[in-house]
Amino acid sequence: MAKGVATFSGQRLTEARLAKGLYKNALADRIGVTAMQITRYEANQDRPTPEKLGSIAEALGFPYEFFTRKSWPEPLGPIFWRSQVAETKTARDMTEQRMRWLCELFWTLEEELDFPGTDIPELDVPDDFRQITPTMIEGFAERVRRDWRLKDLPIRDVVLSVENAGIPVVMLDIPSEKQDGFFFRSSLLNRAFIGVNVHSVTAARARFDVAHELGHLILHKYVTSEQERDAELHKLLEQQAHRFAGAFLFPKDRFFEEVAVPTLDYFHALKKRWGMSIAAMISRSSDLGMIDKDAKSQLFISMRRRKWRGPNREPFDSTMELERPRMLLRGVNALLDSGEYSIDFLEHLLSLPTNEINQLVGIFGVGEKIGHPIMPETFHKPAVRAMDLETGKLISFPTRNRAKMR
């Protein structure tokens, strides 16, 4: 019979190890056991003693209690990744653990708060995504903009627009330049989530990533995990989400009006106004039939000559401000302002490291190290609602009893 800490969870150890990007032998070396012993811990075949669990917690930088709580009970999938072929499994594993914690965080907040319901228009999207045409995608993007009252103007803040529709956005700093974003649904929470990797990302690229993941939400409701993992089908899924992102950010009719001639100078002049990269506008021109394959290639060659190709090398990349999520942060602030919660108590509920909570909630400023809070440490008189000053929407406290997950 396994001995040691009776409430120890091997799944939690796996989560923490993968989130840190560690192989079993690397963790084993840190705590003075074999890789086989780590395997046995994670399979719940053995349980660490309190002293050994303390060593594990210290080595991974997680609270001791994290390893004694139940994991999120819902398997992830399908997950839509916006990443390059060279993306490593390690980087994806790091992100997937944080998806689970994102679900736990949202569940914890939703037990006390009423978040806006998901506001997605009813669209006649084919059940088989292979039947979706470019014309359909353009129409779907126009309908979403119309229902969200975005008209045909530049979207001032894409993240805010998406979150105002009840879709939480999270920005993670994963040390991988091959991983851009992800999208997944939680059946238990009846909620879709969008994530962006902000490691070395530009503001224009992050906006496109959010719009791309929104495309998956709109277009790919019936896609299975098996289809998403199929290389050829995955390529089509990505192409469709790319087309949606371009149409959502820069509507077709306005594009034809404002891009008289598809040149780098035109795109340079439009970039800050529309919040779309020059490279993305070149692709948009190609999608709309304004340029052929050769002209598209020539424009990219010209970008290289101007030294505009590569990470953070386009004009305005260093000056355009990265948009930040607000939905979860305002939820946390609503709880704190109620006077019934403190940061310490929220950390206790989740049993995650402070820097992980901060990252999921978005409690860090641009250019600051993750984990540096911008949330006030002292609280004012109790309040039961938090208002979004930009939209007037309220996050309110319902009367409900906390359902125990753990």
Output the tens digit of pLDDT for each of the chain's 406 residues: 457 999 999 999 999 999 999 999 999 999 999 999 999 999 999 999 999 999 999 999 999 999 999 999 998 878 998 765 556 788 889 999 999 999 999 999 999 899 989 999 999 999 999 999 999 999 999 999 999 999 999 999 999 999 999 999 999 987 776 778 899 999 999 999 999 988 888 999 999 999 999 999 999 999 998 998 898 999 999 999 999 999 999 999 999 999 989 999 999 999 999 999 999 999 999 999 999 999 999 999 999 999 999 888 999 999 999 999 999 999 998 888 888 888 788 788 889 998 899 999 987 543 333 333 433 332 232 333 444 434 444 444 443 434 333 3
Tell me whether residue 305 is in a domain.
Answer: no
Q: What kind and span of H or E run contains 191?
A: strand 191-197
Q: Which residue has the tokens 């009776």?
A: 6
- End-to-end, the C-alpha distance of the chain in Å comes to 24
With respect to residue 187, please indicate whether it lies within any of the assigned structural domains.
yes
pLDDT at res. 87: 65
User: 339 is in which domain, residue-wise?
Assistant: 327-396
157 assigned to some structural domain: yes
- Do 126 and 206 belong together in one domain? yes
Q: Are strands 191-197 and 169-172 parallel, antiparallel or unpaired?
A: parallel
In a domain, 135, yes or no: yes
Q: pLDDT value at position 392?
A: 43
Provide CB contacts within 8 A for 311, sequence distance 6+: 177, 200, 202
What integer pLDDT is reported at residue 374 of this predicted model? 39
Give yes or no for a contact between 299 and 291, defined as CB atoms under 8 angstroms apart: yes
Q: Is the dihedral of CA 346, 347, 352, 358 positive or negative?
A: positive
What pLDDT shows up at residue 2? 57
Q: Which residue has the tokens 């906390």?
A: 402
**What is the per-residue pLDDT for 181?**
87
Q: Which of 225, 249, 273 is the last residue of a domain?
A: 249
Angstrom distance (rounded) from CA 87 to CA 89: 7
Residue 242 and residue 113 share a domain: yes
Tokens 């250019």: give the residue.
Answer: 367
- On whether residue 185 sits in a domain, the answer given is yes
In this structure, are 244 and 134 located in the same domain?
yes
- Same domain, residue pair 20 and 102: no
Q: What is the pLDDT of residue 310?
A: 87
Give the pLDDT of residue 222: 94
Q: Which helix (H) or strand (E) holds 185?
A: strand 179-186
